[in-house]
Amino acid sequence: MTPVEGSMKTGKAKIFASSILLIFLLILPVFVKGNVMFLAILGMIGGIAALGTNIFFGYCGQVNFGAAGFMAIGGYCVALLERDFHTPYILGLALGIAASGLVALLSSFFLLRLRHFVLGLGTTAFGLAIYSMFAKGFTDYTRGEDGVSLNPLHLFGVQAGDKFFYYVVLICIIVCIWISDAVRNSRVGRGMVAIAENEVAATSMGVDINRYLRIALVLNGLLDGLAGGLLVKYLNFCSPEHFSLPYSILIFIGVVVGGAGSALGAAVGGIVMFTINEVLTPLALYHTLTYGVILGAILLFMPDGIVGGIRALAHRWNGVSRV
Amino acid sequence: MREIEFFLLTLVSGISIGSVWGLTGLAFTAIFNASRVINFGGGEVAMVGAYAGGLLVFSGIVPIPIGLLGVIVLPIVSGFFMNRVFAEPLVKRKAPVISSVLATLAAALIISGVVGLITKFQYFKTGLIFGTKPVVWGPLSISPQYIAIIVSVVGLTFGYWFFLNKTHMGLGLQAAGIDPDMASQVGINMVRMRDLAWLVSSVIGGIAGFLAAPLLVASAVMGLPLVVYGFIGAVLGGFGYPLAALAGGIILGLCVQFFTAYVSPAHTDLLVFLALLVVCAYRPTGILGLKMYE
Amino acid sequence: MKKTILQFESVSKNFGGLAALSNVTLSVAEGDVVSLIGPNGAGKTTLLNIATNLLPLSSGKVFFENERVDHLPPYSIPGRGLARTFQILKLPQKLSVLENVAIGAHSRGQCGVLPIILRFPKMRLEESRILGKAKEVIQFVGLEDHMNTITGHLPLGIQRLVEMARALACEPKLLFLDEVTTGLNFHEKQKVVSVLQKIRDQGTTIFIVAHDMSFVMELSSKIYVLNFGKKIAEGSPEEIWKNQEVIDVYLGRIETNS
């Protein structure tokens, strides 16, 4: 679960497994009920958010506990633009993503004076500030905790259903994985990973640290803004509740337990964490406790994250023992 | 209420709540110095202290001395659980620090969850230990609880300083924090040092929670905000130095209380964020200007 | 007459009250192998850090290829043709050798983030060029067998070579080596020496900071000696070998009480 694991191990096994997974995901909607659809969609949205944070943490090694703030910006942009300007969803979503990226860029000028755990604190404060801005400040406009309703998505006059959203989100998450991998396997990605391990070394190799961290944070903002924009349209509701600190931490945990440093791992981690969170919600009082137990178990017993754990299992199955 | 009274009340409440945050910050600075782990559970031990106080001391079920003992022992037990089950195995494994930090979060969630289950996540109003009669001093008329907090904070801080600098164990703890490898080479048992750090941290946190309970509304979820504010206070003061953490917490408390009282309660978080950003951007070693810990 | 590629003019560096370097002047001619020796704490690594702009100097000037470089940001240095290794290895341990060496070629690429995300052909071309260069350099130092091994799994001697390969991937005109043989056994040292000879034969200028006299004598055409931040000698290996002050500094003087 270390932030720096190269994703250059594109063995045949990985491609094979990914294809199987892809086919499974593609035909999933055909034979499952509405509840599972809901979990899958919410999970994948979490996966997208985790992919964003993965670039900042998984690649560059910088902690981000405020990712839900980026989601909030994307989500509220979509919601408020629709409410006040009747902006079509596609345009609203694009603007939401852009706004989130812009906020990331602006805050980077302050946040990037920090590093590592202090940066974790800065991002926490960032997330809290955004949350409270939407929940408590400017409530005349944002309607605070009551939230903003959105119209269901309509395509050519027909109301889009769960299945449609499922495929939209699936395509989005695949695109985001593709983008993340492209970044990772390029000189920019290598530079980011060098920053995570040792800043002095990275500088001496010609990496402009501030520039790359800024790029990483903006990418984080863009992807998480997308996640937020998708979320509010799916739920037809935008409220601060989904963008609070626990959700930021949830996203971050997803990156870490998925197998930080690999895009696929982060996506899986995000999906798993969000799904678990939703599954546990009906448990009400037991929610917090169960969540803590599951998280603790993953951290203690799966040191390489979920993807690493699966990989280890696969290797044991093949009779190969690899470190 | 007259102007001056309002001002003084804001001042005192700022110092008090700031002290609670500062103590929380001090508590996890101790753990951080010993093991580089940032303890998300610092607020949880305070919560346990608060509940222990409420259930054991205020309700009169047990004699007060036993109740007070419970206030100290129960947080220690919680801290021990968090350390031994979650933090220590990961530190031993030399897992990346972030895993240990998340593990403390998991531990915090578990403790919070257990307490929440028992109390059904309801709020818990504890009585005031020193009675409700306000102490009057000039224009100032405040609850004795505030005085109790301030006195206790001073006492705890002094005790902690004394422990760190004047006792054998405390010096060992400092050595362990400065250079763990070197410390273990000279025969300092690192595991025991970490246990010790957690113990001290739990005691301080528990007492902080116990004192704060009548002021803050105690609940199973009070832990996380405490930790966040405590952490922010620690950074503001200068991370890595326990006394700076305390000072930073108090400064933060004053800022928050004055802002809430005189400007706008709704935007307090925004203020905190901006203040943090400004300090970090222009004075990363903290307001007090101490050398930052790496 | 060989061109001067690196020039230090009266460089001084103070840390508070401590003078780490005092008025150091030296020059390195293109294609040469120049060494800087001196006891521990003499200021050798400080000088190196100043040359690569990881530390700002307190006074003086540094010229690379006759251009003033001491005020530039550190990450622009490799782009100019200056590469270095570190005494305490700063190689990302969890990356493969190939990736690590490829990072060295970082400054030789230009693609921004957008072309990378959209996988423009320009980017793919550049990427294959970078990887090709990395593989070439790995072969040059003789590490083909370890190309895909995780760096952290390799012994120190091999990691030193990876670090050198990383520096070479930047196609430097001047290569700084900081204590590159420290901690190596005889066999490993020989390997390093043979690689250095190959680098020198290629025409790259090498600047070595070292302790190990025999290693330095074998390779260098010119030696500078530093003590307490001051230059106390310069010259060819034979001259340095016979220089009394240098001998005193390294071996100490035996006071005879007669």
The alpha-carbon gap from B281 to the nearest alpha carbon of chain A, in Å, equals: 6
Contacting residues of A for C120, CB less than 8 Å apart: none
Which residues lie closer than 8 Å to B169 by C-beta, 6 or more apart? B163, B196
Q: Are C74 and C1 in the same domain?
A: yes
Mean pLDDT of chain A, nearest integer: 82
Assigned domain for C12 exists: yes
Segment B166-202, tens digit of pLDDT = 888 888 777 777 777 777 777 777 788 888 888 888 8
pLDDT level of residue A9 (50, 70, 90 thresholds): very low
Confidence band for A317, pLDDT divided at 50, 70 and 90:
low
Does residue B293 carry a pLDDT above 50?
A: no
Pinpoint the alpha helices (H) of chain A: 12-27, 34-53, 67-85, 89-111, 116-135, 139-142, 162-184, 187-197, 199-204, 209-235, 245-259, 263-280, 287-301, 305-318
Check if the beta carbon of residue A288 is closer than 8 Å to that of residue B224: no
> pLDDT tens, A109-149?
888 877 767 788 788 888 888 888 888 777 777 777 777 77
Phi, psi of C176 (to 5 degrees): -95, 130
Q: Would you call C90 and A185 a contact, using CB atoms and an 8 Å cutoff?
A: no
CB atoms within 10 A of CB C258: 2
Mark whether A and B touch (3+ CB pairs within 8 Å): yes
At residue C2, the pLDDT reads: 74
Q: How far apart are CA B215 and CA B54, in angstroms?
A: 12
Q: Is there a domain that residue C143 lies in?
A: yes
pLDDT at A72: 94
Could you give the C-alpha distances from A322 to A259, A318, C116, in angstroms and in order? 17, 11, 32
pLDDT of residue A213: 92
| Alpha-carbon distance B134 to nearest alpha carbon in chain A (angstroms) | 33
pLDDT the model gives residue A318? 62
When scoring B47, B85, B98, B256 by the number of chain A Cβ atoms within 10 A, the one with the most, hence best to mutate, is B98
Q: C2 and C41 share a domain?
A: yes
Q: Provide residues of A within 8 Å CB-CB of chain B.
A: 1-3, 63, 107, 110-111, 113-114, 117-118, 121-122, 124-126, 128-129, 131-133, 136-137, 139, 245, 249, 253, 256, 285-293, 295-296, 299-300, 303
Judge whether residue A4 has pLDDT over 60: no
Comparing CA positions, the residue from B26, B24, B59 lying closest to residue B45 is: B24
- Region A48-76: mean pLDDT is 91
Which tens digits make up the pLDDT trace of B259-268? 888 877 777 7
Cβ contact, residue pair A3, B96, below 8 Å:
yes
Tell me: do C5 and C74 sit in the same domain.
yes
Rounded distance between C-alpha atoms, residue B177 and residue B160, angstroms: 15
| Gap between the Cα atoms of C124 and A186, Å rounded | 9
Per-residue pLDDT tens digits for A136-187 = 777 777 777 777 777 777 766 677 778 888 889 999 999 999 999 888 888 8
CA-based nearest distance A258→chain C, Å? 18
**Minimum mean pLDDT range among A211-220, B169-178, C5-14:** B169-178
DSSP state of C150: B
DSSP state of C221: S
- Minimal Cα–Cα distance from A296 to chain B, Å? 5
pLDDT at A199: 85
- Name the percent of chain B lying above pLDDT 90: 0
Structure tokens at A116: 């590592």
> Taking 70 as the threshold, does the pLDDT of residue B127 lie above it?
no
Give the pLDDT band of residue A319 (cuts 50, 70, 90).
Answer: low
Nearest Cα to Cα of residue C170 among C233, C76, C95: C76
- The answer to whether the beta carbons of residues B53 and B126 sit under 8 Å apart is yes
Weakest mean pLDDT among B47-61, B187-201, C191-205: B47-61
Pick from A5, A189, A205: which is nearest to C94 by CB?
Answer: A5
For the residues of B162-196, what is the DSSP string, one character each?
HHHHHSHHHHHHHHHHH-HHHHHHTT--HHHHHHH
Q: Give chain C's contact residues with A (Cβ, < 8 Å).
A: 52, 54, 73-79, 84, 86, 90-96, 98-99, 102-107, 109, 111, 113, 116-119, 123, 126-127, 130, 148, 153, 166, 170
B4, B9, B12, B13: CA torsion to nearest 10 = -150
Q: Do A204 and C86 touch (CB under 8 A)?
A: yes
Say which of A107, A124, A129 has its CB closest to residue B270.
A129
Residues C48 and C108 in one domain: no
With 90 as the cut, is the pLDDT of residue A70 above it? yes
From chain A, the residues in CB contact with C153 under 8 A are 323
Residue among A117, A252, A90, A104 nearest A172 (CA)? A90
Buried b (16+ CB within 10 A) or exposed e, A114-132: bbebbbbbbbbbbbbbbbb
* Domain total in chain C: 2
Is there a domain that residue C40 lies in?
A: yes
Chain A CB contacts of C91 under 8 Å are 201
- State mean pLDDT over C12-39: 86
Q: Which among A20-34, A283-297, C193-207 has the top mean pLDDT?
A: C193-207
- Which whole number is the average pLDDT over A199-218? 88
In a domain, C258, yes or no: no
Burial code (b: 16+ CB inside 10 Å, e: under 16) for B222-257 equals bbbebbbbbbbbbbbbbbbbbbbbbbbbbbbbbbbb
Q: How buried is A36 (Cβ within 10 angstroms: 0-12 exposed, 13-18 middle, 19+ buried)? A: middle
Q: What does the pLDDT read at residue A288?
A: 80
Last residue of a domain, one of C141, C171, C201: C171
Q: Is A10 on the interface with C (CB under 8 A)?
A: no
Q: How confident is the model at residue A323 (pLDDT cuts 50, 70, 90)?
A: very low
Residue C94 lies in a domain: yes
CB contact under 8 A, A206 and C78: yes
> Does the distance separating the beta carbons of C116 and A188 come in below 8 Å?
yes
Q: Note whether B263 contacts A: Cβ–Cβ < 8 A.
A: no
C238 lies in some domain: yes
- The answer to whether residue B111 scores a pLDDT higher than 80 is yes
Question: Strands C230-235, C222-227: parallel, antiparallel or unpaired by DSSP?
Answer: antiparallel
Q: B137 to chain A nearest CA, in Å?
A: 36
Residue C41 and residue C106 in one domain: no
Q: CA angle, A233 as apex, A148 and A21 as ends, to 5°?
A: 145
Does C72 share its domain with C190?
A: yes
Q: Say if residue C45 is in the same domain as residue C163.
A: no
CATH of the domain at C163: 3.40.50.300
Average pLDDT, integer, range C134-148: 87
Mutate to test the interface with A, among C50, C54, C99 (most CBs of A within 10 A): C99
Q: What is the pLDDT of residue C253?
A: 55
Residue A322 pLDDT class (50, 70, 90 cuts): very low
Q: Is there a single domain that holds both residue C211 and residue C146?
A: no
Widest pairwise Cα distance in chain C:
82
- Please give the backbone phi and psi of residue A159, each rounded to the nearest 5 degrees, phi first: -75, 130
Question: Given the structure tokens 């309002």, which residue do they identify?
Answer: B6
**ipTM of the predicted assembly exceeds 0.85:** no
Query: Do C126 and C233 fall into the same domain?
Result: no
Considering C171, C204, C229, which residue would you say is the last residue of a domain? C171
Which residue ranges form the domains of chain A, and what is each CATH number?
Answer: 34-313 (1.10.3470)
Using CA coordinates, name the residue in chain A closest to B232: A121
**Which domain-ending residue is among C140, C171, C202?**
C171
Residues of A in contact with B28 (CB under 8 A): none
In sign, the C-alpha dihedral spanning A251, A253, A258, A263 is positive
Least Cα separation, residue A312 to chain B (angstroms): 17
Could you tell me which chain A residue has the CA closest to the CA of B100? A299
List the one residue out of C25, C30, C24, C26 whose CA is nearest residue C5.
Answer: C30
> Residue C156 is part of which domain span?
90-171
Which of B269, B271, B279, B292 to mutate against chain A (most A CBs within 10 Å)? B269
Specify whether C71 is located in the same domain as C194.
yes
Tokens encoding C183: 């901690």
Confidence of residue B60 (pLDDT cuts 50, 70, 90): low
Report whether pLDDT(B146) > 80: no
| pLDDT at res. A231 | 93
Give the residue-averaged pLDDT of C21-50. 86
Enter the tokens of residue A314: 């696969």
pLDDT, one tens digit per residue, over B213-234 is 777 777 777 788 888 888 888 8
What confidence tens digit (pLDDT) does each residue in B12-22 have? 888 888 888 89
| Residue A9 token pair | 């191990």
A9-13, A273-277, C166-170: lowest mean pLDDT where? Answer: A9-13
My answer on whether C11 and C54 are in the same domain is yes
Residue B1 has pLDDT above 70, yes or no: no
Instruction: Give percent of chain C above pLDDT 90.
Output: 2
Of the two residues C148 and A96, the one the predictor is more confident about is A96
Mean pLDDT of all residues in A1-6: 38
Within a domain: residue C125?
yes
pLDDT band (50, 70, 90) for residue A3: very low
Residue of B nearest to A127 (CA): B273
The single-letter code of the amino acid at C153 is: H
Quote the pLDDT of residue B288.
Answer: 60
Indicate if the pLDDT at residue A275 is higher than 80: yes
**C in contact with B (at least 3 C-beta pairs within 8 A):** no
Q: How far apart are CA B70 and CA B218, in angstroms?
A: 17
Q: Do A205 and C104 touch (CB under 8 A)?
A: yes
Closest CA to B236 of B13, B12, B24, B25: B25
Kindly list the residues from chain C whose CB atom is less than 8 angstroms away from the CB atom of residue A322. none
C232 or C110: whose pLDDT is higher?
A: C232
pLDDT at A6 over 50: no
User: For testing the chain C interface, which of A4, A205, A220, A322 should be mutated: the one with the most C CBs within 10 Å?
Assistant: A205
Query: In angstroms, what separates the C-alpha of B259 from chain A's closest C-alpha?
Result: 14
By Cβ distance, the residue of A117, A122, A291 closest to B109 is A291
Helix (H, G, I), strand (E, B) or coil at C11: strand
Tell whether C75 and C179 lie within a shared domain: yes
